[in-house]
Amino acid sequence: MIALIQRVMRADVRVADRLVAEIGPGLLALVCAERDDSDAEPGRLLARVLGYRVFADAEGRMNRSLTDVGGQLLVVSQFTLAADTRSGARPSFTPAAEPGRGRALYDRFVAAARRTLPDVACGEFGAAMQVGLVNDGPVTFWLQVKPIRALA
């Protein structure tokens, strides 16, 4: 699974001009399931998102996590993160999980986040969304966890 996280002052999601989610200071996580992801990847990716130290400590260094600062989380599905862009002028989305499987893994990610954090907002899986944000920094990181394969 992949997450593109952005430290934000605020962020929101709209579907057909209807506000469906918004947060104040925290992280916007664009999340994508890949074809070979197992049921273990959502939990592993969430641990990275929640523990990734992107907020300033007392000395101004990025040394505090979302959990440390008590920030909010906005989760938005974005299958295009899995695009293969190595050649041509049109991306291939074959690395992305098929929609049903992608939704199941996304839902696992969101459910685990809601068990961990008091403030989790979400976009609508598969919808055409307009995402607004004020990136704080700007600070943006690509996080990826790959399925753990048994050694042969």
State the catalytic residue, choosing from 55, 72, 79, 109.
79
What structural domains and CATH numbers belong to the chain? 2-144 (3.50.80.10)
Instruction: Say whether 72 is catalytic.
Output: no
Where does 17-146 have alpha helices with state H? Answer: 41-51, 66-69, 99-116
The tens digit of pLDDT for each residue in 86-130 reads 999 999 999 999 999 999 999 999 999 999 998 899 999 999 999
Instruction: Say whether 80 is catalytic.
Output: yes
Read off the pTM: 0.93
* Contact (CB, 8 A) for 116 and 22: no
Instruction: Say whether 78 is catalytic.
Output: yes
Question: What whole-number distance in Å separates Cα of residue 42 and Cα of residue 53?
Answer: 19
Q: Which residues contact 30 (CB under 8 A, 6 or more apart)?
A: 3, 4, 5, 6, 76, 77, 78, 81, 131
Question: What whole-number distance in Å separates Cα of residue 69 and Cα of residue 65?
Answer: 6
